[in-house]
A = this chain, B = another copy of it.
Amino acid sequence: MTRAFNFSAGPAALPEPVLRQVQEELLEWRGERASVMEVSHRGKAFVACAAEAERDLRELAGVPDDYAVLFLQGGATLLAALLPMNLAGPEAGADYVLTGHWGEKALDNARVSLRARVAASAKADGYDHVPDPAGWDLDPDAAYVHITSNETIHGVEFRQVPDTGDVPLVVDASSNLLSEPLDVRRFGVIYGGAQKNLGPSGLAVAIVRRDLLGRHGRLLPPIFELLNQVKNDSMFNTPPTFAWYVLGLVLKWMKAEGGLAALGERNRRKAERLYAVIDGSGGFYRNPVRPEARSRMNVPFTLPDPALDPVFLKEAEAASLVGLKGHRAVGGMRASIYNAMPEAGVAALADFMADFARRHG
């Protein structure tokens, strides 16, 4: 057997050098005479490993000191429920901009906790674009504005950070976090699951402007209070140590690859290559998203006849291209091309797609 190019939407491909290091030191880690999975999260070795990951993330993303960086369990979905109760009281308003499935879910998880409302939505158009911010129905008194910077299922990505004035912008960046340079100061909260660009599933990252926490005036169970995680370096309870460790290795790999600028360029090239095949296929492949909002991370596309889908998947697997089946909500195919997907993988997929279209078109 050999490893395939894995286009899974998440959990997703990890950098092979990271996996090799994990394999190498799986039974004995850093002189601990134990696996990293077996050592106390409060021991010197793991505390140092955890702090390194935070330092590397701060360096890669340019996170200012007045932002906390949290490593948490529960995924982006749990944070979608916890953030509303941590950012404001029950009478506060919050504006949600919907550009796909995950924005809807975030709204569902916020409704109970405050007056969440839809400020803009592309649902009526099948989530094929990002609504023009000039037309958003924003409440200037809202506690925050929530967006999903990349919709993993619909393949819709914000290519510009909207200006929400003094109202903090809260972004679920699960599927494009650290895939290109960003200006953290434009955001109140950036959060996301690790399992796309950053590591295995079971770990979420949150970058939170410190002054936004602890002002909600609610009685919360202590484990819901994000300020407790800030005060305890994300160890208010036992953290997912292995996932945190792997994320730390991925961050070091990202630095070695040249950081977010280099990764961003590479990710742009990868996406352009696939969209060029789609747009150059004479309508054989179709991607419904308006060009200016097409995701650099998740490229959904359909074939001319759904009966061809299983043929495409089978031939792709034979060509060592796996994880291409689209989400059931939109059908067709989806190529997820996060940081760890090499350009060679995208090139192989592009060549395969062009060849498949020639043979079946």
Contact = CB atoms under 8 A, between A and B. Distances in A.
A78 interface: yes
A65 to B, nearest CB: 28
A254 to B, nearest CB: 17
Interface in A229-253: 236-243, 246
Each complex incorporates copies of this chain amounting to: 2
A27 interface: yes
Contacts of A246: 37
A81 B221 contact: yes
Interface of A: 1-4, 6, 8-14, 16, 19-20, 22-23, 26-28, 31-35, 37-41, 43, 73-78, 80-81, 105, 108-113, 193, 195, 200-203, 219-224, 236-243, 246, 320, 322-323
Nearest to A3: B33
A238 B26 CA distance: 24
A81 to B, nearest CB: 4
Nearest to A33: B4
Contact of A34 (B4, B222, B236): B4
A277 to B, nearest CB: 23
A30 B136 CA distance: 48
Given A3-B34, A74-B78, A26 B27 contact: no
A81 B222 CA distance: 8
Contact of A28 (B3, B9, B13, B112): B3
A37 B223 contact: no
B38 A13 contact: yes
A181 B4 CA distance: 43
Nearest to A27: B19
Nearest to A28: B1
A73 to B, nearest CB: 4
B23 A237 contact: no
A144 to B, nearest CB: 16
A6 B34 contact: yes
A4 B27 CA distance: 11
Contacts of A38: 6, 8, 11-14
